[in-house]
């Protein structure tokens, strides 16, 4: 079956002497893995379309009951030139792509998920570099909402430490059950949920990554590490 679809390139790696294995989140197919034959040759028609974070329109030869399909064409819909030139923006984009790769089942398309990653990557093209991490945080909190375990943005208690319920996401006082976050760190969560993109210090980012890893891991019943964050620190 031949499928023409818009897609976001989540990951790309070398395959053989001249090809690439590419993971896409497709509007019509969901998350799929494809082989781009000859993509690394000088005469390849793919150009830079299969670089991570690219928004493309592609043609996929989709084989039933196969894990690896073939992509025959890809045309860039939206390049990520500014993102590619900034470490902060690039890291934020890769965090979002990594989140999809670790949380989404293969070939189960969801228009909301596609629009979320496409819009978040587009936002990175114009925001200040200093708030790039908060865009990735917003995207992942919104992804949790789509998947059915979003945080309710409950007001933080007066105490300096917040306990966020791992099951319901409700903020509680220290001493109760839940994932421990400093009051100042939980304030970032509340502001981002309210749509405010702000600069988040790296030491707070580390705490937030640990929280997101535990929260997603609990709800998906599998380990969801923050490898992309640690790799680019």
CATH code of 62's domain: 2.40.50.140
Domain-ending residue, one of 40, 62, 79: 79
Domain-ending residue, one of 79, 106, 130: 79
Give the pLDDT score at 156. 80
Q: Rounded distance, CA 207 to CA 120, Å? A: 22
- C-alpha closest to that of 91 among 187, 227, 191: 227
Domain match, 55 and 166 both: no
Q: What is the pTM of this model?
A: 0.93
Count Cα atoms within 13 angstroms, Cβ side, for 33. Answer: 14
- C-alpha closest to that of 10 among 106, 87, 85, 86: 106
Q: Rounded distance, CA 209 to CA 225, Å? A: 9
- Give tens-digit pLDDT for 37-69: 988 887 788 888 899 999 999 999 998 778 899
Provide the domain count of the chain.
2
- Give tens-digit pLDDT for 21-32: 999 999 999 999
Least confident of 33-37, 46-50, 213-217: 46-50
Count Cα atoms within 13 angstroms, Cβ side, for 154. Answer: 15
Domain match, 166 and 193 both: yes
Domain membership of residue 168 as a residue range: 82-231
Instruction: Tell me the backbone φ, ψ of residue 94, rounded to 5 degrees.
Output: -70, -30
Domain-ending residue, one of 79, 99, 123: 79
Angle of helix 132-146 relative to helix 111-124, nearest 10 degrees, comes to 170
Structure tokens at 168: 């319901």
Give the pLDDT score at 143. 98
| Strand ranges (E), the chain | 2-15, 19-26, 30-36, 55-61, 68-78, 161-164, 171-173, 179-182
Q: How many CB atoms are located within 10 Å of the residue 43 CB?
A: 5
Domain match, 220 and 120 both: yes
Asked if 32 and 68 count as a contact pair (C-beta separation under 8 A), the reply is no
Domain match, 33 and 96 both: no
Q: Where are the alpha helices (DSSP H) in 57-148?
A: 81-84, 87-103, 111-124, 132-146
Band (pLDDT 50/70/90 cuts) for residue 230 is: low
**pLDDT, greater one: 12 or 38:** 12
Task: Identify the CATH number of the domain in which residue 219 sits.
Answer: 1.20.1440
Q: Which residues contact 217 (CB under 8 A, 6 or more apart)?
A: 223, 224
Q: Which residues contact 24 (CB under 8 A, 6 or more apart)?
A: 7, 8, 9, 10, 31, 32, 33, 34, 56, 58, 71
Domain match, 195 and 227 both: yes
- Give tens-digit pLDDT for 148-204: 999 998 888 767 789 999 999 999 888 788 999 999 999 999 999 999 999 999 999
Band (pLDDT 50/70/90 cuts) for residue 231 is: low
Q: Rounded distance, CA 89 to CA 29, Å? A: 27
Band (pLDDT 50/70/90 cuts) for residue 232 is: low
Average pLDDT of the chain is 91
- C-alpha closest to that of 5 among 30, 35, 34, 23: 30
- Give tens-digit pLDDT for 62-112: 987 788 999 999 999 987 788 888 899 999 999 999 999 999 999 999 999
């Amino acid at each position: 079956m031949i499928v023409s679809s818009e897609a976001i390139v989540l990951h790309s790696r070398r395959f053989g002497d001249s090809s690439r294995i590419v993971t896409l989140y497709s509007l019509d197919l969901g998350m799929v893995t494809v082989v781009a034959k000859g993509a690394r040759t000088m005469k390849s028609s793919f150009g830079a379309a299969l670089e991570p974070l690219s928004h493309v329109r592609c043609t996929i030869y989709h084989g039933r009951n196969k894990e690896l399909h073939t992509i025959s064409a890809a045309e860039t819909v939206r390049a990520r030139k500014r993102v590619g030139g900034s470490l902060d923006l690039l890291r934020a984009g890769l965090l979002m792509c990594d989140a999809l790769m670790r949380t989404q089942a293969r070939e189960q398309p969801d228009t909301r998920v596609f629009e979320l990653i496409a819009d978040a990557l587009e936002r990175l093209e114009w925001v200040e570099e200093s708030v790039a991490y908060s865009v990735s945080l917003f995207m992942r909190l919104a992804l949790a909402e789509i998947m059915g375990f979003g945080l309710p943005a409950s007001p933080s208690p007066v105490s300096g430490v917040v306990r966020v319920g791992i099951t319901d996401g409700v903020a509680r006082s220290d001493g109760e059950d839940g994932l421990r976050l400093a009051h100042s760190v939980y304030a970032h969560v509340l502001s981002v949920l309210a749509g405010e993109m702000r600069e988040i210090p790296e030491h707070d980012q580390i705490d937030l990554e640990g929280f997101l890893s535990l929260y997603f891991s609990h709800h998906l019943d599998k380990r969801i590490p923050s490898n992309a964050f640690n790799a680019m620190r």
